Amino acid sequence: MYKFPRDFLFGYSWSGFQFEMGLPGSEVPNSDWWAWVHDIENIAAGLVSGDLPENGPAYWDLYKKDHDIAESLGMDAIRGGIEWARIFPKPTFDVKARVERDEKGNIVSVEVPESSIKELEKIADMNALEHYREIYADWKERGKTFILNLYHWPLPLWLHDPLKVRKLGPDRAPAGWLDDKSVVEFAKFAAFVAYHLDDLVEVWSTMNEPNVVYQNGYTRPTHGFPPGYLSFEAERKAKMNLIQAHARAYDVIKEYSDKDVGVIYAYTWPDPLREDIEEEVRAIRERELYSFVDAVHFGKAADVEERDDLKGRVDWLGVNYYSRIAFDMVNGHVLPVPGYGFSGERGGYARSGRPCSDFGWEIYPEGLEQLLKDLAKRYGLPMMITENGIADAADRYRPHYLVSHLKAVHEAMKEGADVRGYLHWSLTDNYEWAQGFRMRFGLVYVDMETKKRYLRPSALVFREIATRKEIPEELEHLSSLDFLVRR
């Protein structure tokens, strides 16, 4: 039996763009992702699915129903979101903030005084803000924990027009994270939200998976992420501006809140397939996996020069984990090898013989245990699993995935990792970005036509664990993948 502390949180995560829309009046047509998934050329090229977010699960209107389901499954925490473009469909450039730069032009300070908050109120959609308050309050009034993440990928179209960037170049279009004015505008947004909603928030997160934004947007143009602009220089610039944006948002939130502020990162586990390359793979982790959080924790990283204005800007760490990346020696070089991790067969098997999700992601819970122990040793920060789940429409593997990964969390905690909770991705099926509705991550199946919710069997497994704060003996067998492996 694997017992968790009584104050260990079980819950789920959601984001605005993926969950809120679905019924008339819930649309957010002023974001880069909205423009991107509606673009006829993207649809024709197969970069996006052709599914549209306005046909989604409708959490904006049906949040009470989802909260009822979550509560019935023993959940006591939600990590939610807020859509920047919904709150500010119009530009905020004219609202003044005090911005300080160093001799190299880096943004080292942004101050957003209360007078600027009042000016922002004249531009903001205050009705949308009030509706967010109603959503969060409904959960809080049940005696539950609410964690608010400010940025989960969509940017207002006035700040980033991805179709123009792709066609004209970033110097001739609103360029998003390639322009450091986005750092200042994000700080304004963060200050505004903290000022108005801090009473409902237990813990803050500035952003979710910034590495997915700069990697997929600028180095993987076939992945279907805006702006689909291939440029390693642009990737480096976007990464640096996101690092600065986190640090400046951390600072302004602290002006209006005494709560902890963290960042949520998309982790994997770089996994050597042979012992003689372990040191090379460890160096890859240092250089590629840890540099973002290194920068905002230590104030420097492998690719970021030392800056005091970045140091100590993270109070807790959100860990999103789905699978590994396997490395081997290929023609004298240590490289990722296909057939494992995120490059398995969709709905089939990895080269290891382990089953893969509908997305083709290998089930590899060992990577989560190793990752958590490594992060604990590196940072010594409180952590929370803020995303973990599987695209599995038939619910064939989700019970095994859930229990095996919770066992991995438990084992890491036994070794000293300070993990405070597990938030599943997700409660309900959602709009999965460029994949549309093809990938089903929910413990709860959603009929996108009727918006009706139906429990999958894995939801009942989750309920047993969450309500008892343990993996009970009768479910322990689900932690083993042995009889799922193809020999």
* CA distances for 362 relative to 5, 178, 343, 354, angstroms: 29, 33, 8, 6
Exposure b/e, 33-70, CB count within 10 A at least 16 = b: bbbbbbbeebeeeebbbebbbbbbbbbbbbbeebbebb
Residue type (1 letter), 400: H
The CA distance from 236 to 148, in Å, is 27
Concerning whether 202 is annotated as a catalytic residue, the answer is: no
Strands (E), 234-282: 261-272
| Annotated active-site residue in 83, 209, 235, 362 | 209
Active-site annotation holder among 54, 235, 387, 411: 387
Q: Quick one: DSSP state of residue 437? A: T
Distance between CA atoms of residues 9 and 75, nearest Å: 8
Termini Cα distance of the chain: 29
Q: CA-CA distances (angstroms) from residue 290 to 118, 303, 389, 452?
A: 38, 10, 22, 41
Provide DSSP, 446-480: E-TTT--EEE-HHHHHHHHHHHHTEE-GGGGGGG-
- Bin 465: left if φ > 0, else alpha if -120 < ψ < 50, else beta: alpha
Beta bridge partners of 266: 320
Two tokens, residue 337: 């090898």
Which H or E run contains 369? helix 366-379
Nearest Cα to 249, choosing from 109, 370, 400, 367? 109
Q: Give the Cα separation of 443 and 199 in Å (integer).
A: 30
* E strand or H helix at 275: none
DSSP label at 310? T
Structure tokens at 310: 């970045």
Cα torsion 359, 364, 369, 374: sign: negative
Is 387 catalytic? The answer is yes
Pairing verdict, β 145-151 and 77-80: parallel
Are 386 and 369 within 8 A, CB to CB?
A: no
Nearest-Å Rg of the Cα atoms of the chain is 21
Residue type, 184: V
Q: Which residues contact 312 (CB under 8 A, 6 or more apart)?
A: 297, 299
Q: At what angle do helices 232-256 and 210-218 cross, to 10 degrees?
A: 160
Active site residues: 209, 387
